[in-house]
Structure 1
Amino acid sequence: MLIGSCWVLILLAGSSNAIYNGVEAKFDFWTFIASVSVNGYLECGGTVIDSRIILTAAQCVKDKPVKKITVRVGTPDIYRGGKVIKVTAMVVHDKYEEWNNDIALLWLEKPALSERVTTIPLASREPYENEYPSNAGWGEKLLESYVSPRKLQNGVTKIRPRTLCADELIETIGNELLCVFYGENDICPGDYGGPLILANKLVGIAVQGHGCGFAILPSLYTNVFHYLTWIEENSKELKKNK
């Protein structure tokens, strides 16, 4: 995607700070996004991929009681609007460890779809280096500030070589992860689990910023294309058993 066209995806509105140095999102583009809460407090973002299935990061829900997890959809406001739906089952990747295999599925008590809530297709290919996807979330404005913006924020970022992330993190980055950063945009706690979008498809799940606000350093996203089979098989199991 050319940088000129990426601004069409961002759909800018007023300025704000989180996603770090992001802007207030125009919600008409982000009707597939969800906020994931535990005990009534924002934990992460998520993506509606089926009427009753939310895709998020394993770190957001692993070892959390299912009955304490809810999802809000259909609104850019983290406190109001849309609808709040209970989670009744979930699947966390059985080999999740730190950033590796950081992926999970949530099964909702009732269907989420409406005029204000849509699904988004999953990636049909891995994004290429130097493409410009968009991200969004309600993450902290500054690291450990514990203050989230009320309205959804989004930004633009860039796919980088995995070797760049490996050099910065002093460890190998495999095909299960995407290495991403661009300009002054970064993901922060609260944004994790949220979507990375390219050409109107879900290509990544936010799993690790570089300290929140160190935007010249890389962030990591779970590579959705790498997990298509896992997502399909476990979605079928959730539907079959519920």
Structure 2
Amino acid sequence: MASLIPLSGFLTIAFGARAAGLAGWPRLAGYVAAGLLAWGGLGVALAALEIGWGAAYRLTPVLLALAYALPVLLVVAALRRAPRLRTALGTRSALWRLASIQLARNVGLVFLVLHARGELPGLFTYPAAWGDVAIGVTAPIAMWALWFRDAEVRRPGSGWRKAFIGWNVAGLADHVVAVTLGILCFPGALHVFDVHPTTVVFAGLPMVLFPIYMVPFAAMGHRIMLDAIRRPAGRARRDGVAERVPVLGGAG
């Protein structure tokens, strides 16, 4: 599942930038895919070398928390300085694909499997797994709304807009709850809940990819969707009627 993240990023930017009429959209999408690939590759390399994570060190939960939060904050901040990316991500084509990424949240069912095998505590498993599934199974509704009710989703005060915002906020809240419980059940510097088993399974591959890659990527999608529909209607780019934005050197 994690291996598909660079491809999903490429397709989201490619279709969004093309719909917005941006010149050089293949290169822009390629830069994003390369960045996502490098990010995931770095996380896997650190796990394989047992640097920071890959093993249950005392500070591993602290580092996992930072690995979840920092990429989201950095990307949201960077997008404010990348008008071409914001334009691409603000189109109906891109937003629809960002919502479709949340379908992968159904993979949270694996937590229930690990719990049944005695590898995860129920305190973490039930809210994390069912929270993910709740977002995953409702993602098609968000996708439908973005494609067929795009104008209503963007219109302040509309029911579709309120529902879409609520869905994204719920998705982010699920992440916060899951990451917090995962850290507090992990033996180490932030251990609070004395449960057995602990969440130490998230220290090594492949499960470490959840907190360091898959979860922050999904959180980025929620944040980007919320930011996109908050923009004034006059600035939102619609598929097929977007104005062209000149290329200013690379992806910026």
**Structure 2-normalised TM-score?**
0.26
Q: Which has the larger radius of gyration?
A: 2
Of structures 1 and 2, the one scoring higher in RCO (CA 8 A, sep 6+) is: 2
Higher helix share: 2
Higher strand share: 1
**Structure 1-normalised TM-score?**
0.27
